[in-house]
């Protein structure tokens, strides 16, 4: 039971920091970015004013990198502690729909555009994956299914590396290495999976291999869905949620793994490691209950930003 005297910060304060940094990021991404690219604003590239505005824009976008990993951390904690996961998922789905028009108005200057989806879709896909992973983790999985999943996972990684190297060979003419990439991917992924099982799980070898392999296999459709829907942060965002969930037992690792995955996709995301200063003080308590305020803030602030941009002629 939560107490009033427990030291540290509650999830309420983490949410406040997350939405404030997100707001700063979105003001920069919508208002300042439109000014930087709009020739009617007489911002001549190379002028002193242009560089000052661009500097402010970059600072605001850097501050915004802190927001998404904090939301991932809160999503994982919410998944662990929620009493009704179905309602949680439906709530995320509802705000995916509610946020669609404000999101498109802000980022696409249109009332409806399916080329880019809000971060709520990314969070929903990540939440659904955690539901599947949790289900797998509670079941006695026949080892043979785990071995099949391990082979399929290795093949997927191998084909991905083969595709990646093939894309490189189109530019650099390194023909003949695609097959090497495939088998290297299979071997590396299989070795990593078995290594995690033996050296990190530290149980009898392969006791949990079936669950681990099936969970990784189950993640792939969610990654593909994120890419197909073109969600904010796309597959990297869903993978970051999965990585945070895998290390959910320790707050600092939970956030760090999410940031690490995002940093691989874009090095600027490493700024989000500053969120550790907040998460390390997290006391596990919810704090003030303003659940729907935080949900409603996302579409509302996007709508206000979009309307303000329109009002000033952007």
pLDDT digits (tens, 9 = 90+) for 131-175: 999 988 887 766 667 667 767 766 666 666 565 555 544 444 444
Between 138 and 91, the more confident residue is 91
3-state SS record for the chain: CCCCCCCCECHHHHHHHHHHHHHHHHHHHHHHHHHHHCHHHCCCCCCHHHHHHHHHHHHHHHHHCCHHHHHHHHHHHHHHHCCCHHHHHHHHHHHHHHHHHHHHHHHCCCCCCCCCECHHHHHHHHHHHHHHHHHHHCCCCCHHHHHHHHHHHHHHHHHHHHHHHHHHHHHHCCCCCHHHHHHHHHHHHHHHHHHHHHHHHCCCCCCCHHHHHHHHHHHHHHHHHHHHHCECCHHHHHHHHHHHHHCCCCHHHHHHHHHHHHHHHCHHHHHHHHHHHHHCCECCCCCCCCHHHHHHHHHHHHHHHHHHHHHCCC
pLDDT score recorded for residue 162: 60
Any idea where the domains of the chain sit in the sequence?
Answer: 7-116+250-314, 119-231
pTM summary value: 0.83
pLDDT digits (tens, 9 = 90+) for 259-283: 999 998 888 999 999 999 999 999 8
């Amino acid at each position: 039971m939560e107490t009033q005297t427990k030291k540290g910060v509650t999830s309420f304060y983490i949410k406040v920091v997350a939405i404030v940094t997100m707001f700063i990021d979105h003001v920069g991404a919508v208002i300042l970015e439109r000014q930087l690219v709009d020739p009617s604003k007489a911002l001549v590239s190379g002028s002193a004013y242009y560089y000052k505005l661009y500097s402010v824009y970059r600072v605001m976008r850097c501050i915004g990198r802190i927001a998404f990993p904090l939301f991932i951390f809160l999503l994982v904690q919410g998944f662990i502690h929620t009493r009704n996961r179905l309602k949680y998922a439906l709530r995320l789905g509802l705000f995916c729909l509610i946020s669609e028009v404000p999101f498109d108005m802000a980022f696409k200057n249109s009332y409806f555009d399916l080329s880019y989806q809000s971060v709520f879709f990314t969070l929903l896909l990540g939440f659904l994956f955690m539901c599947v992973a949790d289900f797998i983790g509670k079941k006695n999985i026949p080892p043979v299914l785990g071995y099949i999943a391990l082979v399929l996972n290795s093949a997927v990684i191998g084909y991905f590396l083969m595709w990646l190297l093939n894309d490189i060979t189109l530019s650099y003419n390194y023909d003949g290495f695609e097959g090497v990439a495939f088998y290297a991917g299979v071997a590396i992924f299989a070795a990593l999976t078995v290594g995690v099982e033996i050296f990190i799980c530290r149980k009898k070898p392969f006791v949990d291999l079936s669950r681990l392999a099936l969970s990784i296999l189950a993640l792939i459709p969610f990654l593909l869905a994120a890419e197909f829907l073109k969600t904010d942060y796309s597959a990297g965002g869903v993978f970051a949620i999965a990585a945070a969930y895998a290390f959910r037992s320790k707050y600092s690792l939970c956030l760090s793994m999410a940031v690490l995955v995002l940093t691989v996709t874009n090095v600027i995301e490493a700024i989000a490691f500053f969120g550790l200063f907040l998460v390390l003080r997290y006391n596990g308590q919810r704090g003030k209950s303003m659940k729907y305020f935080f949900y409603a803030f996302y579409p509302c602030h996007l709508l206000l930003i979009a309307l303000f941009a329109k009002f000033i002629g952007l």
